[in-house]
Structure 1
Amino acid sequence: MARKRNQKTTPEFADVARYDTFPKLLAHNARAFGSEVVMREKEFGIWNEFTFADYQHKVRRYALGLRAMGIARGDCVGLLGANRPEWVWGEVAAHAIGATSLGVYKDVLGEEAAYLITYAGITAILCEDEEQVDKLLELGDQIPTVRVIVYCDPRGMRKYDDPRLISEEDLCRKGEALDRAEPGLYDAEVEKGSGEDVSILCTTSGTTSKPKLAMLQSGPFLRHCLDYLNADPKCPGDDYVSVLPLPWIMEQVYVIGQQLIARNIINFVEDEETTMADLREIGPTFVLLAPRVWESIAAEVRARMMDSTRFKQLMFKWGMSIGKKAAAEKRRSWFADFILFRALRDRYGFSFLTSAATGGAAMGPETFKFFHAMGVPLKQLYGQTELAGAYTIHRNDDIDPETVGTAFDQSALRIDDPDEEGVGEIVGRSQGMFLGYYQNQEATDADKRDGWLYTGDAGYINTSNGHLVVIDRVKDLANTSAGVRFSPQYIENKLKFSAFVAEAVILGRDLPYLSAMICIRWSIVSKWAEQKNISFTNYTNLSAQPEVYALLRDEVERVNETLPEAQRIRKFLLLYKELDPDDGELTRTRKVRRGVIAEKYAREIEAIYAGRDAIDVDTTITFQDGSTARIQTTLRVETLLPPDDPAGRQAAE
């Protein structure tokens, strides 16, 4: 697809005080900038473009179609599927007729979907394709509130005869018929909407229990998006590739709120497997990727160097050293760019980036420094769903890899009950402050007090630059039985900088010393094993190989060298499977559910601290399609620092 790159460098922000809902702002943009391209979707290798006029046309048809199907003001419309233009059109259409919207993660299991649908009282749900429809139909009478199921992809749908089903095409026909019958209905419904109406129900991360639903109003949400844009400006025509799931609050900010205000272009990739190739084709101006994605890119770069010649490996090491030194001095090295980073940025589609962000979970400083050395203008964000997403960010001339930056102009934060080191609970507020948790006043009163959100996160303000430093969840900060205080997340992030580590869980709360359970990064370790002529059959078998244990031992020892002696990892084992959201071990945004881990792997944890060298495992795992597999293996416990060595004694004293 031949296209001109955006030449605009001056932001143009819409008046969110006047246009205080998504449908009002869309109608304004369609009138004033109807021919501007605002979305692209790749399908069958071709990028299809949509203008503001197309956007408005689709939303109008969707909204009136839903109205014709009996969906009215006060109802809730669900959205289930991958990131697609239809999702965005469906969400804005729901708001146009006074309904609320709730995004459901596409890989959600049936039980989770049933909980969210019935809890929110969803009456209509927009699905991507047959896979998502199957998920709903299998729930049967567990979702009695659902009256309408709209599917966008008709392939495979002819065999169904459920009366709730309707195709997107037929929904639009119903909308067109109602528009002809009542030509002023859509505009009247949009005008009835107020920025103070609850428009979005957004799931919280749910690290300790089932997710709560934060009630967000479109007016405060848009004002907060504008506050974000003032801190990190975007220009009309800037390109963004939508990668993170749309139910997540930050993707709502970027794809819907900021897009309507700043008129940038949202690009939807063809498939999850083609993400990096599609991203390179677009060459976006700004990106938002989760820490795990940045970590996997960094791991892939280092893994590719394993396949390179000795000369290229030396050049990479040299260039990276020069690049890191230059980044630390807040400059770019033209020489490192020439020999290494220019080609590297081009390979991943980062050549035109003016802004890059990460959020949703903590990122280790080593990963952050890696990308700054590479010339990627990466910034860390911090926020919560309840505050409409991020409200702190690094500014262009004020980057610190150990922090998450400073608050937006119209946002604020403070540290409550700090200890002698200044560490306490982070309390924040923003213009996008949620109204409360849906049907959960008790939780609302616990978290929202006097206009502030009590986040449950531990952190402190860096006195030298005023930046916020986030350490961990308050409840996750732990002490060993010897009184050594540590942050599991901090050490886990250090481990995950290794190309060979996909996930790690640090143990040690109320126990004599720290240990780790580690998941290998299959794509990298399997390649490494093939190069070393190590035979293996699957993930479980590979993770049990002695050579793999030796490889990971080196990685853990490297991390130990950067930690105080009392906080060093003394033992570790390699898990027989990857941690999985479907098993409840991670949230949908890939945060560790420590309570689930402690319960599910209690036998393995007990064996580590009982001094055993090996653990026999005989268990069954269930895949997303319902099939099961039996796993029989022996986990080896690797001892790095015996508890009776000098460092171990120091930790126990």
Structure 2
Amino acid sequence: MLPEKIHQNLESSRAMHPGWQDQDHLIRQLVNNARDHGDQVALRERDRGIWQEYTWQDYLERVMALAAGLETLGIGPGDRVLVVGDNRPALYFGMLAAVTLRAVPSPAYPDTNPQEIQSQMETESIRCALVEDQEQVDKLLGIRAAGYGHLDHILFDDPRGLKGKEPPGALALEDLLARGRDRLEREPNLAQDLQSRPSVHDTAVLLHSSGTTGAPKGIPLKHGHILSGVRNASQAGYFREGEVHMAYLPMAWVGDFIFTIGAALVLRFCVNIPERQETALHDLREIAPTLYFGSPRAWSNMLTRIQVGISESTGFKRRLYHHFMPFAVELERRRLAGQIPTPVERAWRAVGEILIFGPLKDQLGLARVERPYTAGEAMGEDVFLFFRALGLNLRQFYGQTENCALCVAQPPDSISLHTAGRPFPGVELKISDDGEILVRSDNIFDGYFNNPEATAETLQDGWMHTGDAGYLEEDGQLVVLGRVSEVVYTRGGERFIPTYVENRLKFSHYIKDACILGKDRDYLAALIVIDIDAVGHWAEENGVAYTSFADLSQKPQVYELVRKEVAHVNGVLPEALAIQRFVNLHKEFDPDDGEVTRTRKLRRKVIDAHYAPIIESLYDGRGSIEFEAKISYETGESGTLKRHLAVADVTGAQLAEEV
């Protein structure tokens, strides 16, 4: 970026945020931690079964050495640096090294396909990429061979398959680290110079919207936004100093940057990185975090693991579980309704803690968790009550990438099953005349990357228009209904929000995804994606044989299982909005097919196009359909596969036989 442009941006940010102090930035937090707590463990990574530790002094030394090395490659203020891979210490060090040079890390999800990566690179003029391993290197080499000629440097962490035969422009991060250390030794004042360069007004990371309705938008978050958000959350008791945290969330998601870098630097977290994504749940028990975030689906999957484990345990353990868990769930339900447990109930709860609840939490790795959270979508009442009954003070929060995901959270002493909580200190919130949630605070971004039209639509008169519909209850707690843009009407004029209904369907353990139809139609219908783990276990327990996802999804017994779940949701919907028909799809929604984003949000236009014949069958009275499914092979070739799918009515006692 040109120096004059950088200067203009700096002055503009100073005018917008007069309360920010120039030297109050993330790198300054790191320097202070190394100076005052240098020998404390800042970050741990499990590598080949052994935990490797980095102190705050190690952390700072590696960031400075990588910054010195990056500068020799020509990386400087305003440059965007692509980051692709799973959570790895070297990638975090490299991101902060770029930030030290006033460059901007731009993470992407590791499973993002080459076309999406190339689009991001072209939009942001990427010259340098920081990646995990050979898989990502090969992906970028393919993009470069396909015509993207601006990628000068590919820096990789894992040397397997690459060391000694690096392709042109590729360099191991360890080699860059050594180069930077040599430079720091030759230039004694360089480290101090590097530490003084960043400003609170610099962009610390360039994240991206989910892209549910179009191309993802770049969301620049400055040091000041991140620090304001973390401090607001800390003031509300959301974070505390010295938390033990597990970094397993995708690095491209705002929550990972805020938890693993922002809050960790401000509040000196001990960040723990699992060996692989596949071992995260196993490593969680060894880490025993004090702070833990999981999506509603992650908590639901954890509950399924518990139920499967109990069903396979001894008869004595099963009897204990089925005695104490229903008791604890009902006790928690009444407690949330304001009823105080009797002394006898408290005594039985204490016994259950010793026999069941404590051992379960220990087995899961949640024995030390004091601040468990969930966000992203509504959580099922059964799942929420279960973990609170287990003794975890599980709370929901609400936010967007544009406000550092730190906006609203449930207070620990005022939990409700249907609210998202109250705004953090420093956050103002109101509901517009048309029911949209508006927020204003210092942790809200200043505008989208090179997208003035979208910026003008989102930021108006100092308020951020979230795009979400909601309302405030009398006690000030926020209820989120869904996206304003998704408010639609049936042919009869009934108003509904598809995501609201979909979330309630996904409360079921047996339903992984759902797409609600009904806009300009006579009634609501649903495309259902079963949860293969939960339904597969149910099938084994009930003697239902199957060979594949597609085969299991079409079993009459599974249709009956799903029908009951849909009928249960109908019980809480207005009669005019009851789901009347559904289809169990033969496959999951796939981000590589464009059907969902990397964060599992539906792309409705793509789904409408891909499943158009199935959707029509839901409204023309057919009982089944022969669907030609398009499939893509790893070679890049495509083909079709015929599937026979049943179309089911929700009402009717003979459903299983009809299917």
TM-score normalised by the chain length of structure 1? 0.91
8 Å Cα contact 1:280-1:348 kept in structure 2: yes
8 Å Cα contact 2:395-2:410 kept in structure 1: yes
Q: CA deviation at 1:317?
A: 4.4
Q: Distance in 2 between matches of 1:349 and 1:530?
A: 27
Indicate which of 140, 159, 162 corresponds to 1:157: 162
The equivalent of 1:645 in structure 2 is none
Q: Sort the Cα spacing of 1:510 and 1:370 in 2 relative to 1 into closer, same or farther, 3 A.
A: farther
SS of the residue aligned with 2:399? strand
Code of the residue aligned with 2:216 in structure 1: it is P
Code of the residue aligned with 1:21 in structure 2: it is H
* Deviating more after overlay: 540-549 vs 265-274: 540-549
> Number of paired residues?
622
Q: Distance in 1 between matches of 2:20 and 2:274?
A: 29
Q: Distance in 2 between matches of 1:95 and 1:369?
A: 42
8 Å Cα contact 2:84-2:109 kept in structure 1: yes
Q: Distance in 2 between matches of 1:321 and 1:16?
A: 51
1:591-610 correspondence runs (5 A): 591-610=601-620
The equivalent of 1:90 in structure 2 is 94
* Deviating more after overlay: 290-299 vs 574-583: 290-299
Q: Sort the Cα spacing of 1:624 and 1:453 in 2 relative to 1 into closer, same or farther, 3 A.
A: farther
1:244-263 correspondence runs (5 A): 244-263=249-268
Q: CA deviation at 1:98?
A: 1.3
Q: Distance in 2 between matches of 1:233 and 1:481?
A: 45
1:32-431 correspondence runs (5 A): 32-140=36-144, 141-158=146-163, 160-307=165-312, 315-328=320-333, 329-330=335-336, 333-418=349-434, 424-431=435-442
Matched, 1:450 2:455: no
8 Å Cα contact 1:19-1:25 kept in structure 2: no
Question: Structure 1: which 5+ runs fail to align?
Answer: 1-14, 419-423, 643-653
Indicate which of 22, 27, 33 corresponds to 2:26: 22
8 Å Cα contact 2:422-2:476 kept in structure 1: yes
Q: CA deviation at 1:108?
A: 0.6
Indicate which of 564, 569, 576 corresponds to 1:554: 564
Code of the residue aligned with 1:260 in structure 2: it is L
8 Å Cα contact 1:234-1:264 kept in structure 2: no
Q: Distance in 2 between matches of 1:263 and 1:94?
A: 21
SS of the residue aligned with 1:437? coil
Indicate which of 512, 520, 526 corresponds to 2:530: 520
The equivalent of 1:648 in structure 2 is none
1:487-502 correspondence runs (5 A): 487-502=497-512
Residues 240-278 of structure 1 show CA distances to partners (whole Å, capped at 9, x for unaligned) of 111211111111110011011111111101111111111
The equivalent of 2:10 in structure 1 is none
Indicate which of 546, 570, 574 corresponds to 1:564: 574
Q: Distance in 1 between matches of 2:634 and 2:297?
A: 21
* Deviating more after overlay: 516-525 vs 297-306: 297-306
8 Å Cα contact 2:246-2:289 kept in structure 1: yes
8 Å Cα contact 2:629-2:643 kept in structure 1: no
8 Å Cα contact 1:40-1:47 kept in structure 2: yes
Residues 360-379 of structure 1 show CA distances to partners (whole Å, capped at 9, x for unaligned) of 33323332222212222111
Root mean square deviation, CA, Å: 2.1
8 Å Cα contact 1:581-1:590 kept in structure 2: yes
Q: Sort the Cα spacing of 1:311 and 1:569 in 2 relative to 1 into closer, same or farther, 3 A.
A: farther
8 Å Cα contact 1:392-1:408 kept in structure 2: yes
8 Å Cα contact 2:488-2:519 kept in structure 1: yes
Q: Distance in 2 between matches of 1:159 and 1:570?
A: 62
Q: Distance in 2 between matches of 1:303 and 1:146?
A: 48
Q: Distance in 2 between matches of 1:133 and 1:273?
A: 21
Matched, 1:577 2:593: no
Q: Distance in 2 between matches of 1:625 and 1:237?
A: 48
SS of the residue aligned with 1:156? coil
The equivalent of 1:462 in structure 2 is 473
Q: Sort the Cα spacing of 1:210 and 1:623 in 2 relative to 1 into closer, same or farther, 3 A.
A: farther
Code of the residue aligned with 1:201 in structure 2: it is L
Indicate which of 442, 452, 470 corresponds to 1:441: 452
SS of the residue aligned with 1:398? coil
8 Å Cα contact 1:118-1:144 kept in structure 2: no
Residues 470-529 of structure 1 show CA distances to partners (whole Å, capped at 9, x for unaligned) of 011112122221222223222222222222211111211221111111111112222332
8 Å Cα contact 1:16-1:261 kept in structure 2: no
The equivalent of 2:14 in structure 1 is none
Q: Distance in 2 between matches of 1:342 and 1:562?
A: 34
SS of the residue aligned with 2:154? strand
Q: Distance in 1 between matches of 2:495 and 2:259?
A: 38
* Deviating more after overlay: 611-620 vs 134-143: 134-143
8 Å Cα contact 1:16-1:223 kept in structure 2: no
Q: Distance in 2 between matches of 1:114 and 1:35?
A: 41
Q: CA deviation at 1:45?
A: 0.9
SS of the residue aligned with 1:246? coil
Q: Sort the Cα spacing of 1:556 and 1:449 in 2 relative to 1 into closer, same or farther, 3 A.
A: same
Q: Sort the Cα spacing of 1:291 and 1:187 in 2 relative to 1 into closer, same or farther, 3 A.
A: same
The equivalent of 1:8 in structure 2 is none
SS of the residue aligned with 2:52? strand
8 Å Cα contact 2:22-2:200 kept in structure 1: no
The equivalent of 1:539 in structure 2 is 549
Q: Sort the Cα spacing of 1:472 and 1:234 in 2 relative to 1 into closer, same or farther, 3 A.
A: closer
SS of the residue aligned with 2:44? strand
Q: Sort the Cα spacing of 1:298 and 1:142 in 2 relative to 1 into closer, same or farther, 3 A.
A: farther
* Deviating more after overlay: 470-479 vs 437-446: 470-479
8 Å Cα contact 1:104-1:247 kept in structure 2: yes
Q: Distance in 2 between matches of 1:47 and 1:94?
A: 26
TM-score normalised by the chain length of structure 2? 0.90
Residues 185-235 of structure 1 show CA distances to partners (whole Å, capped at 9, x for unaligned) of 232133122101222211112111111011211123212211111112544
Q: Distance in 1 between matches of 2:382 and 2:443?
A: 32
Identity value in percent: 37
SS of the residue aligned with 2:454? helix
Question: Structure 2: which 5+ runs fail to align?
Answer: 1-18, 653-659
Q: Distance in 1 between matches of 2:499 and 2:324?
A: 30
The equivalent of 1:650 in structure 2 is none
8 Å Cα contact 2:229-2:406 kept in structure 1: no
Q: Distance in 2 between matches of 1:77 and 1:445?
A: 27
Q: CA deviation at 1:312?
A: 5.7
* Deviating more after overlay: 609-618 vs 323-332: 323-332
Code of the residue aligned with 2:353 in structure 1: it is D
Residues 352-397 of structure 1 show CA distances to partners (whole Å, capped at 9, x for unaligned) of 1110111233323332222212222111111111112221111111
8 Å Cα contact 1:235-1:262 kept in structure 2: yes
Q: Distance in 2 between matches of 1:362 and 1:579?
A: 19
Q: Sort the Cα spacing of 1:416 and 1:545 in 2 relative to 1 into closer, same or farther, 3 A.
A: same
Residues 322-352 of structure 1 show CA distances to partners (whole Å, capped at 9, x for unaligned) of 2223223157732443453222212211111
Q: CA deviation at 1:306?
A: 4.7
Q: CA deviation at 1:175?
A: 0.8
Q: Distance in 1 between matches of 2:638 and 2:281?
A: 31
Q: Distance in 2 between matches of 1:48 and 1:183?
A: 29
Q: CA deviation at 1:551?
A: 2.0
Code of the residue aligned with 2:362 in structure 1: it is D
Q: Distance in 2 between matches of 1:395 and 1:458?
A: 21
Q: Sort the Cα spacing of 1:367 and 1:211 in 2 relative to 1 into closer, same or farther, 3 A.
A: same
The equivalent of 1:9 in structure 2 is none
Q: Sort the Cα spacing of 1:303 and 1:161 in 2 relative to 1 into closer, same or farther, 3 A.
A: closer
Q: Sort the Cα spacing of 1:478 and 1:315 in 2 relative to 1 into closer, same or farther, 3 A.
A: farther
Q: Distance in 1 between matches of 2:132 and 2:270?
A: 22
